[in-house]
Amino acid sequence: MRNAFIVFVLTAVTIAAQAPKPYTAPRMPDGHPDLQGTYDLATLTPIERPAGMNAVLTKEEAAKLERAAAVAREEGDKSIKGDRSAPPKGGDGSRGPAGNVGGYNTGWLDPGSTYTVVDGQKRSSIVIDPPNGRVPTMKPAALRRTLSLIARPTSDAQESNDPGLEPAGSYDDPERRPLGERCLLGFGSTSGPPALPDYFYNNLHQIVQTRDSIMILTEMVHDARIVRMNAQHLPKTIRRWMGDSIGRWDGDTLVVDTTNFTDKTRFRGSTENLHVIERFTRVDARTLLYRFTIEDPDTWEKPWTGEYAWPATNERIFEYACHEANYALPGILSGARLREKEGGK
Amino acid sequence: MKLLSVMLVSAALAAGQTAAYRAPRADGGKPDLNGIWQAINEANYDLQAHTARPAMALRAGPYGPVPAAAVVALGAVGAVPPSLGVVEGGEIPYKPDALAKKKANQENWLTLDPEIKCYLPGVPRATYLPYPFQILQNASRIFFAYEYAGAVRDILLKDPGPAPVDSWMGQSVGHWEGETLVVDVTGMNDQTWFDRAGNFHSDAVHVVERYTRTSADVITYEAVIEDPKVFTRPWKIRMPLYRRQDTQILDFKCPEFVEELLYGPLRKKPLAR
């Protein structure tokens, strides 16, 4: 009996010694966790899970993919041979920056170098629900609506399209260009909400936290989203580019509820009735966990959810003065007018 | 400490002065600047004292200046309201060739004022544009979010050294002097104006702002502007900033509003101009 008791006590002590202490975030004076910092959202983890991948990458899979990304970057950063000739007029026909005459050298890009880690797992996608890691298909009516509005790009539209793939009329007016090209919001839903990696550059975000207002700054395009704590939503007549965000604390998690989007944001083809719920939790001294749920009954049958880590960075956010130096948009429109004049499409 | 404060206040009262306003403390123990603030004055039209004018863009009329053709349809809405000015001493001390450039700016206001194109306004113009801005302040951070064009300023509380690159809103480094937040702004480019009257600066401009709570709903704001390429000496502006109790910062994303102005002629089917 005594031996069993000793074994019991030793086992209990051992378990207690091995059980990880749950992390407690440092507090603000009002008692809530301090979520502040500057974060770099760049990650190799895509929004949707590629076919054939598990939700969680093994250490070996992740290492292989991260190494491949590093090698591609090293290759891209190599000096260009001085004897290389110019590409043929109009590009060599292949897709992407190699084939077109435009595009960024890798030195300009900062797409991330590692897969996002949540709960110690290297994730293959940001979307976690549905469990297949893919955004649910749109409702048929939503698909029809999106196709009819296809010349009005969405807030998550990426920066470049290969020529010849855009729908007719894409260059008729500035209002038909992506919001990023117009410098109205950063591309790739970088500010959102939901705030997503843009897989290109300038993925820094900064949080400044007071009792009544929590400000989330998105580097591109210097968009400050002010979350009003414990407040009511704006009236339905007031719509905002990033919606209207109100916040409350759920234990140590900041829950942000956003509605009142404009009908021009159209995240992933959704409507102005988009409803985004975000959850911010500090999981260690240098990391926030960011989780979001997307609801729009006019677009998707059920809500869907994603999550990824926001690691702190020592970098500083500099000014992204997009509109002030927007040579691209007039250049793109002028180019289209010239092409029409020369008899092209 | 509290006894000393009481004694000092009593002494001041005994001397026949009103006690200076003491703002509540924010987290961190400094005067609390949190809130939504806005200037109520005509500084953005013209920093200097002036009588009302027919318009910001003028042309010669038979009996004096009249609104330029491009703005005549605005009528009184396009007129410039009068002001006693916000410049200490009244005059902005331009060097002679710089004064000529200011006059040329004013004459060509419609094509040159960056506010028309919704460009970031720089400092101090961001302070007195007719739109509210919000100050967020805690023990370790101070951040300004302006409604106009969504301009932002992170007020660094640790000096990182010279700005590595010029920007529209500059690099702001803040520290407290008693009850006053002092913000040192460097690294601004030469693209912003001070107002709609063509007052301008070079990329050598250096602005030092002072924010002091002087009552429950007022910040007294001062800015000293120094620019040896443009002015003969530093000069100062001063104005109250009032608390907005009735609003929150909303969207004034004006790049959208100037697309017709900037890109209208590039439409496939341009509208009549």
Evaluate if residue B16 carries a pLDDT over 80: no
> ∠ CA B179-B183-B186 to the nearest 5 degrees?
165
Give the count of alpha carbons within 13 A of B46, CB side only. 24
A208, A222, A226 member nearest B249 (Cβ): A226
Interface mutation vs chain A, best among B135, B143, B254, most A CBs within 10 Å: B143
Q: Which pLDDT score is estimated for A9?
A: 56
What average pLDDT does this structure show over A78-107?
69
Say whether the peptide bond before residue A193 is cis (omega within 30 degrees of 0): yes
pTM of the model as a whole: 0.92
ipTM: 0.92
Evaluate if residue B52 carries a pLDDT over 60: yes
Q: Is residue B59 part of a domain?
A: no
pLDDT classification of A20: cutoffs 50, 70, 90: low
Backbone conformation region of residue A195, classed left if phi is above 0, alpha if psi is from -120 to 50, else beta: beta
Say yes or no for a CB contact (<8 Å) between A213 and B136.
Answer: yes
Evaluate if residue B157 carries a pLDDT over 60: yes
Residue B243 sits in a domain whose CATH number is 2.40.128.20
Evaluate if residue A178 carries a pLDDT over 70: yes
CB B153 within 8 A of CB B163: no
pLDDT classification of A257: cutoffs 50, 70, 90: very high
What average pLDDT does this structure show over A43-49?
98
User: Rounded distance, CA B185 to CA B174, Å?
Assistant: 9
Evaluate if residue A19 carries a pLDDT over 90: no
Q: Is residue B192 part of a domain?
A: yes
Looking at every residue in chain B, the average pLDDT score rounds to 94
Q: Which pLDDT score is estimated for B78?
A: 97
Higher pLDDT among residues A105 and B212, named by residue: B212
pLDDT classification of B83: cutoffs 50, 70, 90: very high
Evaluate if residue A16 carries a pLDDT over 60: no
User: Rounded distance, CA A194 to CA A295, Å?
Assistant: 11
Say yes or no for a CB contact (<8 Å) between B140 and A324.
Answer: no
Cβ-based burial of B116 (10 A; exposed 0-12, middle 13-18, buried ≥19): middle
Evaluate if residue B10 carries a pLDDT over 90: no
Q: How far is A55 from chain B (nearest CA, A)?
A: 38
Q: How far is B147 from chain A (nearest CA, A)?
A: 10
Counting the structural domains of chain B, the total is 1
What average pLDDT does this structure show over B113-137?
98
pLDDT classification of A166: cutoffs 50, 70, 90: confident
Q: Is residue B66 part of a domain?
A: no
- Please say whether the dihedral angle defined by the alpha carbons of residues B33, B36, B42 and B45, taken in this order, is positive or negative: positive
| Chain B contact set for A235 (CB, 8 A) | none
What average pLDDT does this structure show over A300-314?
97
> Closest Cα partner for B81 from B41, B128, B125?
B41
What average pLDDT does this structure show over A25-46?
97
User: What token pair was written down for A290?
Assistant: 């960011």
Q: Is residue B216 part of a domain?
A: yes
User: What token pair was written down for B266?
Assistant: 């590039």
Q: Is residue B6 part of a domain?
A: no
What average pLDDT does this structure show over B54-62?
96
CB B186 within 8 A of CB B210: no
Q: Is residue B69 part of a domain?
A: no
Residues B209-254 pLDDT 10s? 999 999 999 999 999 999 999 999 999 999 999 999 989 999 999 9
The domain in which residue B137 lies consists of 21-49+84-263
Say yes or no for a CB contact (<8 Å) between B118 and A182.
Answer: no
User: Rounded distance, CA A264 to CA B148, Å?
Assistant: 20
Evaluate if residue B18 carries a pLDDT over 60: no
Q: Is residue B222 part of a domain?
A: yes
A210, A213, A321 member nearest B168 (Cβ): A321
